[in-house]
Amino acid sequence: MRHRRPDDRRPPWGVRRTLLSASAAAVVLLGWFVLAVRLALPSAQAEGLVFFVAASFVLLLLFGRWLARTGALLVLLGLLPAYSAFYGGWAATGDEILLARGRQVDAVVAAETAHRLKAGIDYTYDLRNPDGSTGSLDPGAGTRLAVGSRVPVVEDPGGLVATQLAGKQDPAVALVFAWLGVGGLAGSVAVTAVAGERRRVRNATTR
C-alpha cells in the first residue's frame, strides 16, 4: 500500500478524478452546443432546436451515468440550462451575424402560409427581393403581413442565417440567456460529479 509523504500536497486521486471527469463532460457538452447552434442557424423557427435538445437529453443521461451512476440527476439539473444555452446561443449568434454582414432590402410579400400550432396560428411568407431572387420569412408569433406589401428585411448574403424583419436584431437579451445556460450547465455537471464521488467513497467505506 502506497502512503503519501507529508510533503505530498497533491489532491487525492478521488478529487482529481472528479475534476477531470467533470471537466471532460463539460467540454464535450459545450462543444456539442456550439456545433448544434451552428447546424441550427439556418432555421427561422426555434422549433428547429427540438432535435438538438433531444440529443442533449441523451448526452446528459449518458454523462450522468458516467459521473454518478445515474443519469436522472444531471438531466434534472441540466436540461433547462441546456435549452437556455441552445436558444440563447442560436438567437444571439444569428442576430450578431445579421448585424455584422446583413443586407437590408425591401422585399415584396409574395405568398402566405398558415401553420396551426397548439398556441394558435403562425404565419410564414415567401418573399421576392428587388433583384428577382426569392426567400422566406418567419416574422414571429403575433405578426402578420399583407400579401403584396413591401417589408424591410435583413438577409445574410452567405445564406447561413434565416432572413429577419429589419430592426429585430438585438443579441443582448439572448446572450444573457446563453451565458446563464452555460453557467447552469457547468454547475449541474459539477454537482453531479461531486455526488458521484461521494457515492463511490460511501460504497468503498461500507464494504
- 39 falls within a domain: yes
* pLDDT computed for residue 104 by the predictor: 93
| More confident: 2 or 200 | 200
Residue 7 in this model has a pLDDT that exceeds 60: no
Same domain for 121 and 42: no
Task: Dump pLDDT digits (tens) for 36-73.
Answer: 999 988 887 777 788 888 899 999 999 999 998 888 99
Cβ atoms within 10 A of the Cβ of 95, count?
A: 22
- For residue 19 the three cell numbers come to 475534476
Sheet holding 164-165, edge to edge: 134-137, 120-128, 103-117, 150-155, 164-165
Cβ(97)–Cβ(156) below 8 Å: yes
Of 7 and 31, the structure prediction assigns the larger pLDDT to: 31
Average pLDDT for residues 71-78, to the nearest whole number?
A: 92
Nearest to 139 by CA among 103, 172, 114: 114
- Number of neighbours of residue 74 by Cβ within 10 angstroms: 30
Q: What is the number of structural domains in the chain?
A: 2
Q: Which helix (H) or strand (E) holds 122?
A: strand 120-128
Tell me the HSE value of 139 on the side-chain side, using a 13 A CA sphere.
22
pLDDT at 5 > cutoff 90: no
pLDDT digits (tens, 9 = 90+) for 118-142: 666 888 899 998 888 888 888 877 7
Average pLDDT over residues 14-36: 90
- pLDDT score of 3: 52
Q: What is the pLDDT of residues 174-197, one digit of tens each?
A: 999 999 999 999 999 999 999 988
- My answer on whether 92 and 116 are in the same domain is no
Predicted confidence (pLDDT) per residue in 82-120, tens digit:
999 999 999 999 999 999 999 999 999 999 988 776 666
Are 138 and 36 part of one and the same domain?
Answer: no
Q: What are phi and psi of 137, to 5 degrees?
A: -145, 135
Assess whether 18 and 91 both reside in one domain: yes
Question: Do residue 19 and residue 93 come from a single domain?
Answer: yes
Residue with cell 454523462: 63
Query: Residue 137 is placed in which grid cell?
Result: 420569412
Q: Is residue 4 part of a domain?
A: no
**What per-residue confidence (pLDDT) applies to 13?**
54
Q: Which residues contact 90 (CB under 8 A, 6 or more apart)?
A: 37, 40, 41, 46, 49, 174
Residue 64 covered by a domain: yes
**Taking the complete model, does pTM exceed 0.75, yes or no?**
yes
Q: Is position 60 within any domain?
A: yes
* Residue 143, domain CATH: 2.40.50
Distance CA 86, CA 174 (A): 10
- Give the domain range for residue 36: 13-99+169-205
Determine the average pLDDT of the residues in 23-39.
92
**In terms of pLDDT, which residue wins out, 115 or 157?**
157
Please determine, for residue 2, whether its predicted confidence score (pLDDT) is greater than 70: no
> CB-side exposure of 40: number of CA atoms within 13 Å?
24
Mean pLDDT of the chain: 86
CA atoms of 90 and 46, how far apart (whole Å): 9
φ, ψ of residue 198 in degrees (nearest 5): -65, -35
